[in-house]
Each structure stands twice: as structure tokens, then as C-alpha cells.
Chains A and B, each alone.
Chain A
Amino acid sequence: MPCQHYKDALIEAAASGAQPQGYLRAHLNVCLDCRAAFEQEQSLFSSIDAGLHLTANPDVPPSLLPRVRARLDEAAATRRGWMPQWFALASAALMVVAFLAARAVWRTNVVQKPIETARKTSVPPPENHNPVVVRPVEKNPVSQRQFAIDKNPLAPETLISGKTMPEVLVPRDQEILLAEYAAQWRLHARAPLLAQDSDATILSPLQVAPIQIAELDVKLLADQKSQ
């Protein structure tokens, strides 16, 4: 066993690889245990160095450099072909984005157009008619219903409901028709009503009176002057 007092100094000296100096050298000259411990430490560090040398300097496999060169060739070939591939990918991505944008715009138009069409067709021009407001029940169903019956005695009950419905300006002679339409619309649960009732609606043929043009009274200019 080495002397405890010199233990760290022994290890430090062996680790540094230098010969012990000063008080440690003097102690090693007289202490056999410490000298043996020092030699053992030196042997340990020599073994470590030899092992490290083996670990750090292995034989390089002969296949290393040829394989690296082959991969470098592949990398160079990939580099050459990279730009056209990039362009193709970018073009494809651009086309997809353009398609999606066009589709989104088209869908927006499709949703908006029926609304606009409905607005245009459901509000006929008020010429020659006194419009009547058909007001469905909203906040006060009883009074609204009474109002509707009073104002429109021919209107069926089905026109008035407790549900919220839009107010529509209708020509006076078309209010019954609208009431029937609304009733059927509700009954058929918004089914293809127009197609179904198209046969039931009998339209009288349009009769147009022939145009009557009065005969022209032509007078000479000279006569006019003389008069």
C-alpha cells in the first residue's frame, strides 16, 4: 500500500509522464511500497496509451475511398439532374394552387348567383300594382296571424307560421298565388315543387291585340303656307 500522503502526487506524476521531482523523488527512494505503486501507475498509463493508439489508428478498409468516389459520382449526377426536377415540381405545385384557387372562386360565384337570382325574380316591379306586405309571424305570432287573416282573407293558414320567414313585396293580384306557393313549398319540404306543379298550373295563351295605326293625314307644304 502506498503512503496516503503521496498517493495523489504519485498519480499526477504518472499521468503527466514526467519523472518525479523534489520531495516525491526523495520519498520514492526510501519507500518501497510507494515506488511499487508508482511503477504500477506508470504501467497503467502505458497500457492506456497503447490501447488508445490501437483504437485511434485502425487499418482503414481498402473499400473506403472507392466507395466514397462512387458516391461522389452519384452526388454529381444528382446535382446535374436536380434543377429540371425542381422546375417540374414547382410547376406541378403551381398548377395545383391555381386549380384550387379557381375552384374556390367558382364555388363562391355558384353560391352567390342563386341568391341574386332569387332576389331579382321574387321582387317584381311594382308598376300598376299596390304592393301588399305579407308579414310572417316573428315576435308576436297571434297578432301577426290576425293581421295576416284580416288583410288577406283568402290566404290559407299555411302561409302564416311561427317560423321566421322573409318579408316579400308582392303585387296585389299575386298574393294568393304566393300563399299557395309557400304552403306547398312547406308541405313538400322544399322538394322539387316547381317541376311538380308545372302541369297543374294552366296558363292561358297570351293574347296580343293587333297594333292599330291610324292613317296619316298628309298635307302639302304649299297649301299650309297659303293658309
Chain B
Amino acid sequence: MQELVLVQPGRTVGDELAQRAAQADTRREFEERLAECGPLAYRVARGVLRNTADAEDVAQEALLRAYRKFDRLRDRNRFRAWLVRIAFRLALDRLRSGKRRELRDTLWSQPQRQPPAATAENLAASTEFQVHLESALAELPEKLRLVLLLAAMEGHTIDEIAATLGISAGTVKSRIFYARKQLAEKLRCHANIIKTR
């Protein structure tokens, strides 16, 4: 089917073509980053929201926003950090809105949504501990939570996290330490679960 082209009366064909070319360049450049950064946005959102469907929605929205404002990003090397912040903010907003809280709880209680366990014996303990862990993670301050999530993601070094968030490596280490300590305090009461593993 032939594509219909809408041309403004006051503009020349040259202007139109130049704009199309610029848009195509932007799209191409964005596509190059999409394959690498799309999963990152999803994982950040998933770490905050604990729900696959919500995380996918938020990741899509974050990527779309990033695309719309891609022209304004002067330093394209900062794209990852920029996208992480957008996805994290959107995920927090979605979490606070609580629109799908009931659905999320329902989905999460289903066994197929749980992380796979090695044996049937460990399944119950692992599942229960994971639920407690994610609840404890959700209660962490935002700064600690984001650093901990990024640190737990594959392929993220301390220096990369520091560069992504624009903080020093020492601050990243300190935040990871305090975040793990706070998690341990919240989960220590479930030590009997751990013992069974």
C-alpha cells in the first residue's frame, strides 16, 4: 500500500526531506541502544514493581519517553543512566498509584510466577524467603534500593554503577553495605526458613 505523505503548505519539499532524514537518524541511533538498554529498563522496573506485566508497561513507557526526548540528550553516552532514572521514577510512580495492587498480589501468589527452585523441598522455603526479601527490598529507601538492584544485575561493576548514577564508587559501596545490612535485619526473623535451605 502506498504511504500517504502530509506536506505542510508553507514548507518546501527540501525542508520536509531534511526533517525526515533527521528523524531517521535519530531512530537509527535509538535502535542501536534499544537492544541493550531495553532489558535494563525492564529489570529496573521489575525490581521495583515485582510484577512482570507492570514492569513491561513501565519499561515501554520509559523507552518511549527516552525516544521522544532523545534529541535533547547532548551526551549520548549518558543514555543508560538517563534511562535507568526514567524507568526507576516511572516504576515508583506506578507502585505508589497502586492501581494494580490486587492483581499483582494475585499473580505473585501463583506458583508459576515464582523463581525456579532446585528441588521440590526447597521450593516452599525459597518462595517464602523470596517474598519476604522483596517486601524488605520495597521498604528500603529509594537511593539504597536502586544501587542494590543495579549491583545485583549481571554485568554491572561498582564503577559502572557510580558512573550511571553520577556518584562516587565509595558512595556506591557504602550504600550497598547499608542496604544489605538493613535487609538482613528485616529478614533475620526468618532465619528458620533459611536454616531449612
Contact = CB atoms under 8 A, between A and B. Distances in A.
Interface of A: 11, 14-16, 40-41, 43-45, 47-49, 51-58, 60-61, 63-65, 67-69, 71-72, 75-76, 79-81, 83-84, 87
Given A63-B56, A65-B34, A47 B129 contact: yes
Contacts of B30: 72
Contacts of A67: 56, 60
B6 A80 contact: yes
Nearest to A80: B6
Contact of A47 (B35, B50, B137, B194): B194
Contact of A55 (B64, B149, B177): B149
Interface stretch (B37-45, B91-99, B100-108): B37-45
B180 A61 contact: no
A15 B52 CA distance: 30
Contact of A56 (B35, B43, B129, B194): B43
Which interface residue of A45, A49, A72, A79 has the most chain B CB atoms within 10 A? A72
B160 interface: no
A76 B68 CA distance: 9
Contacts of B55: 58
Contact of B184 (A44, A69, A75, A80): A44
B47 to A, nearest CB: 5
B191 A48 contact: no
18 contacts: A11-B184, A15-B177, A15-B180, A15-B184, A51-B134, A55-B46, A56-B149, A56-B150, A57-B152, A57-B154, A58-B42, A60-B38, A60-B43, A61-B52, A64-B39, A65-B35, A69-B34, A72-B67
B38 A65 contact: yes
Nearest to B173: A16
Given A11-B181, A44-B194, A47-B194, A53 B152 contact: yes
B56 A64 contact: yes
A65 B63 CA distance: 10
B130 interface: yes
Interface residues of B, number: 47
B158 to A, nearest CB: 13
Given A55-B134, A75-B64, A84-B8, A45 B56 contact: no
B187 A54 contact: no
A44 B55 CA distance: 28
A53 B153 CA distance: 7
Given A14-B184, A48-B183, A48-B184, 20 more contacts: A15-B180, A40-B195, A43-B197, A44-B184, A45-B184, A47-B129, A49-B152, A49-B180, A55-B46, A55-B50, A55-B133, A56-B47, A56-B150, A64-B39, A65-B38, A67-B56, A68-B34, A72-B27, A76-B23, A83-B8
A15 to B, nearest CB: 5
A45 B180 contact: yes
Contact of B64 (A61, A63, A72): A72
A64 B60 contact: yes
A68 B35 CA distance: 11
Contact of A60 (B42, B134, B152): B42
B197 to A, nearest CB: 7
Interface string B87-131: 000000000000000000000000000010000000000000110
Contacts of A69: 31, 34
A68 B148 contact: no
Given A15-B180, A51-B133, A75 B188 contact: no
Contacts of A55: 46-47, 50, 130, 133-134, 137, 149, 152
B180 A71 contact: no
Given A15-B177, A60-B43, A65-B35, A48 B63 contact: no
Contacts of A57: 43, 152-154
